[in-house]
Structure 1
Amino acid sequence: MAADAGAAAGHDDAVLPFAVPDLDLRGRVVRLGPSIDAILDRHGYPVPVSRVLGEACALTVLLGTALKFEGRFQLQTKSDGAIPMMVVDFSAPDAYRAVVQIDQAKLVEAMALDRLSTGDLLGEGHLAMTIDQGSVATRYQGIVPLTRQGLEEAAHQYFRQSEQIPTRVRLAVGTVTTGGRGHWRAGGILVQFMPHSVDRLRAADIHPGDAPEGHRILAGGDADGVEDDAWTEARSLVETVEDHELLDPTLESERLLYRLFHERGARVFEPVPVREACRCSRERVLGMLRGFSAEDRRAMIADDGRLGVTCEFCSRRYSFEPAEVEDGQAAGS
């Protein structure tokens, strides 16, 4: 059931959906606390890298919680910067995990030159957003080029080219000191212009090609393809959101929305809790090992005589006796 913005209690590790009917606006606010702190603390990445991964997690959770089915949403980058690859994996309805690869030499150079923005660290390459409902036939992927822009602008490009939905995103990552140490936090807000009024619909100037079948396409004259006072107002309001407002654990998401949209009658809905959780398991890892050739498996045997695998996402260590892997091979042959 919907409630007036500002009436409900705020939550960490949750996404708060909302709507502003007067502006034909829908959106979500995310606040990540203990879950993002656990991920970044476990990996122990350098601070600039942790900030980039925190942004990617906030963006992925904002988008992944919009799935209306049991499936996966994945954000992945491949580029030539100090962070050559980054993966954030969201499993509907509520679990996410994340990992990055680091080019140490490029990171040292970037830190020496103080080129530590998200765009600087990612460099040039591409960002892919993949929706997977469990089969090849229902898999959808949108790709945007990375040209040293940040993740906010990359998200805007994704929605412009893939869905033609005017969208604005704000992301923030930082630490809050409690109990004598800094705890990572991440936050974000996403708004989308979804007009129903005929007066607010525009004819398309360029067909997007991969927009969902039956989607009403918007066009016009500004960067979002929309000339509409309602969207101009909404976009301008979101651009006033400051990092501390997305990170402050004492400022509830409802209060932030009230500050932004109270004159228009913002409405909030039930928050969606999220958690940090890995998809790995002993059975999955064992199945992976059985997919290697016998020669490759022999090369994996460590000095202690066992095969060991560490999950890159959660750092969990799995150890197997060679016979355990071979028995499965024999049973399945």
Structure 2
Amino acid sequence: MFRFNRPKSEAPAPAETRTLISAEAMDPTRVLGELLSRTSIEGLLEGALAHAATILGGTVKGYAVLRRGQDQVVAVHGYPKTLVGLSLAGPWAQMRPRILTDGSKELYEKNPSSVYAQLDAAGMREVQSSVVVPLTDKGRTLGALMLDRSSAGAITPQQQEAVNRWAAVVTPLLGVFETRDEWRQAARQITTALVEAVESQDFDALGHAQQVAEISQQLGRSVGLSERDLEQLWYGAVLHDIGKINGEAGHASIGANFLHGAPMLAEAQKAIRHHHEHWDGTGEPEKLAGEDIPLYARIVAVANAVAHNQDPTQLRAQAGKTLDPRIVDLALKLPPR
């Protein structure tokens, strides 16, 4: 098995706590810390949907829509992830709180038949009632939460008010995540510019780091890394050769030292330091072998080999010697570049 840590799933709330709007459920401070620890807008809205479903009680599914030119599904709770990225019109268009008692009729009426198959596959024809929860902040209309119940039982005005209050607390956090995304993008641009400046000393190397980063991201998704993990992997991959600014010898260790003052990139630092370790223990700098080599380093090593050589036969020959054989297998399944 690949060695990496996954976040533990939260246990579902007991039925008796889901069927009541308790003071605890209505208190947003109980989960704000957990939401702020999320690493993306999708993660934030998944958590917001889950808590809103708890407030309503019963069997509730939901999806979050943001206005990005078109209204687009960006997160789901209970529904399949295949809905994420889908552009939809819907009963949230006027951005006012509503309780719908005619199921998903309005959703189907407002959208072309070309999306019906996806909606049907998600089970949206079985919806009996819904709550439209607008996401507005200081007059800005950002999107909406849609909470759907397929089981019998009316949604009360008190429940609607509770989820509206919850949305009013969550919506300002979207601005926090937008700012995080802007800073993340700026940090990536600065990092890429630095790497390109180093690569420009050797025209044969131009674009190599970016290529390794792209392949690493594909491999990281193949082994199931989270978005937070993929962010660390990106930095480890794009900076894997940054130590060459001081020459070829020992560049992996030198490059890792560049991140010494960035504890939030500790895993990326390990990827840089150990991407020249070999699966059979003959590499450097510490002669680590097998799964003692950090996972990100093993991924970067394979991505580096793919970027240097597109020949599958030569890549296969390194499996079990210099490279992790399981990651090599994943690399061989990637689309040709």
TM-score higher than 0.5: no
TM-score by length of 1: 0.25
Q: Which has the larger radius of gyration?
A: 2
Pick the structure with more helix per residue.
2
Pick the structure with more strand per residue.
1
TM-score by length of 2: 0.25
